[in-house]
Amino acid sequence: MDSNGVSSASDIRREIASLEAAKAQIEDRISTLQAQLSNCSSNGRAKEEIEENRFSAPSPTETISDGQLSADMIYRYSRHLLLPSFGVEAQANLLKASVLVIGAGGLGSPALLYLAACGVGRVGIVDHDVVELNNLHRQIIHTEAYIGRSKVESAAAACRAINSTVQIVEHKEAFRTSNAVEIMSKYDIVVDATDNVPSRYMISDCCVVLGKPLISGAALGLEGQLTVYNYNGGPCYRCLFPTPPPTTACQRCADSGVLGVVPGIIGCLQALEAIKVAGAIGEPLSGRMLLFDALSARIRIVKIRGRSLQCEACGENTTLTPQKFRDFDYEKFTQSPLSTSPLKLNLLPTNARITSKEYNERNIKGEAHVLVDVRPSHHYKIISLPKSLNIPLASLEARLWEISAALGRDEGDKTENDGSSASLYVICRRGNDSQRAVEYLHKMGFTSAKDIVGGLESWANDVDPKFPTY
Amino acid sequence: MQLTLEFGGGLELLCNSVKIHTVDVEPKAEEKKLTMKHLLSWVHTNLIKERPEMFLKGDTVRPGVLVLINDCDWELSGQLDTVLEDKDVVVFISTLHGG
Ligand SMILES: [Zn+2]
Domain ranges of chain B: 2-94
- Residue A118: active-site member: no
From the list A184, A147, A148, the residue with the least C-alpha distance to A169 is: A184
Distance of CA A274 to the CA centre of its chain: 20
User: B28 falls in which pLDDT band (50, 70, 90)?
Assistant: confident
User: CATH 3.10.20.30: does it fit domain B2-94?
Assistant: yes
Cα of A314 vs centre of ligand 1, distance in Å, is 4
Asked if B9 reaches chain A (Cβ–Cβ under 8 Å), the answer is yes
Answer for the pair B90, B40: CB distance below 8 angstroms, yes or no: no
pTM given for the model: 0.82
Instruction: From chain A, pick out residues whose CB is under 8 angstroms from the CB of B19.
Output: 293, 296
**Cα gap B99→A103, rounded to integer Å:** 8
- d(CA A305, CA A115) in angstroms, rounded, equals 29
CA-nearest residue of chain A to B96? A218
> What is the C-alpha to C-alpha distance for residues B18 and B12, in angstroms, rounded to an integer?
6
What's the gap between Cα A295 and its chain centre? 22
Q: What's the CA gap between A363 and A466, in Å, rounded?
A: 18
Cα A288 to ligand 1 centre (Å): 15
Q: In the A/B pair of chains, how many CB contacts fall below 8 A?
A: 102
Structure ipTM:
0.96
The shortest C-alpha distance from B2 to chain A (Å) reads 21
Give the residue numbers of the binding site of A for Zn(2+). 236, 239, 311, 314
More confident residue, B83 or A44: B83
Residues of A in Cβ contact (< 8 Å) with B76: 303, 305
Cβ <8 Å between B62 and A263: no
Is B10 in the A-facing interface, judged by CB distances under 8 Å?
A: yes
pLDDT for residue A463: 96
Per-residue pLDDT of chain A (470 residues), as tens digits, is 444 555 688 888 888 888 888 888 887 888 778 777 765 654 444 444 344 444 445 555 445 555 689 999 999 999 999 999 999 999 999 999 999 999 999 999 999 999 999 999 999 999 999 999 999 999 999 999 999 999 999 999 999 999 999 999 999 999 999 999 999 999 999 999 999 999 999 999 999 999 999 999 999 999 999 999 999 999 999 999 999 999 888 777 788 899 999 999 999 999 999 999 999 999 999 999 999 999 999 999 999 999 999 999 999 999 999 999 999 999 999 998 887 666 788 899 999 999 999 999 999 999 999 999 999 999 999 999 999 999 999 999 999 999 999 998 544 444 444 455 799 999 999 999 999 999 999 999 999 999 999 999 999 999 999 999 99
Measured CA to CA in angstroms, residue A470 lies from A141, A256, A324, A425, A433 at distances of 21, 12, 40, 22, 16
- Separation in Å, CA A151 to CA A104, A215, A271: 6, 21, 19
CB contact under 8 A, A245 and B64: yes
CB-closest option in B8, B93, B95 to A241:
B95
Q: Is A428 a catalytic residue?
A: yes
Q: Say yes or no for a CB contact (<8 Å) between A246 and B62.
A: yes
